[in-house]
Amino acid sequence: MSVKLQHFDVTFSWELFPRVQELGPRPEPRPGPSPSETLSETIEVRQVAGTGVSGNYDKVMPVPASLDQHITWWLNILNGHPKLFFKQTDFVIEIFTDASPTGWGAFAKGEKTHGFWPKSKSKEHINVLELWAAFYGLKSFANEMCNCRILLRLDNTTAVSNLNRMGGVKYEHLNRITNMIWDWCENRNIMLFASYINTRDNIEADKESRSMNIETEFELNSLAFNEIVDTFGLPQIDLFASNLNTKCATYVSWHRDPDCYAVDAFTISSRQFFFYAFPPFSLIPRE
């Protein structure tokens, strides 16, 4: 595929002349694809939508601002600044994930975790939730990993296909989440492969995704918290929180969490922080 970019001040347009006859059918998914594929998928979506007529690859279309980062990535590659990926044959971790209408669950190396959907996600299609569950499972168990390969086990064939193909051209909302996952992996030089597992064999992740234990989701009323901030100042870290109820950008969770600074506030020194703490009442007597 050859791409011609024209720059008119702040307006971009492109002309695409793919050698469709030479390329043939898209290859089947395989472990460890290149990150260029997910960027190509996004560009392909925009191109198909922009031409308006299937197969009209000579038509000029405007390039929306949403593609700036993808075009920049390709220009860096073409200018000789490739991002090299670590090559190895073994998966360093196998992560099982699942989603339900109420939350997500993940299981790896004998350890499990879960979370609940915020209102903004609770009404999403199950295929979307499965991709979010995979992303949260990755961030919970592999946040400190890099230069490795990771195996994801999911019981949703649509999510598996999107991850292994690094997106698709049919559903842009699925492609968007898939791009987020692969961007996260690329920044850590992680090669990801998703594999289907039957729901009856995905026991731990499925159970966690349906957990109704909301004891860890208690939080102080926002009005009361604002009074604390007005009196003492804005704290640096919330010592007892989750990604749903944290009062600070940095927080410590009770169990593995996609965006937490650490797990279990009793295992870290809080002296280095100006912290906020609203622990479960059962933990207050604990030293």
pLDDT tens digits for range 255-273: 888 888 888 888 888 888 8
Cα 76 to its chain centre, rounded Å, is 23
Strand order of the β-sheet with 111-116 is 111-116, 103-108, 91-99, 148-154, 190-196
Amino acid present at 221: N
Give the pLDDT of residue 254: 81
As a whole number of angstroms, the distance between CA 78 and CA 88 comes to 25
pLDDT tens digits for range 134-151: 999 999 999 999 999 999
Give the pLDDT of residue 58: 63
| Beta carbons of 251 and 237 less than 8 angstroms apart | yes
Phi/psi class of residue 119: alpha, beta or left (left: φ > 0; alpha: ψ in -120 to 50)?
A: alpha
- Mean pLDDT (whole number) for 96-107: 94
| Beta carbons of 190 and 146 less than 8 angstroms apart | yes
211 pLDDT higher than 90: no
pLDDT tens digits for range 155-191: 999 999 999 988 877 778 899 999 999 999 989 999 9
| Beta carbons of 118 and 220 less than 8 angstroms apart | no
Pairing of strands 237-238, 250-253: parallel
226 pLDDT higher than 60: yes
**Which position has the higher pLDDT, 24 or 250?**
250
Pairing of strands 148-154, 250-253: unpaired
DSSP letter for 236, please.
Answer: S
As a whole number of angstroms, the distance between CA 48 and CA 175 comes to 14
**Which position has the higher pLDDT, 83 or 109?**
109
Q: Which of 40-44, 154-158, 226-230, 245-249 has the lowest mean pLDDT?
A: 40-44
Domains and CATH numbers, the chain: 2-78 (no CATH), 91-209 (3.30.420.10), 215-283 (no CATH)
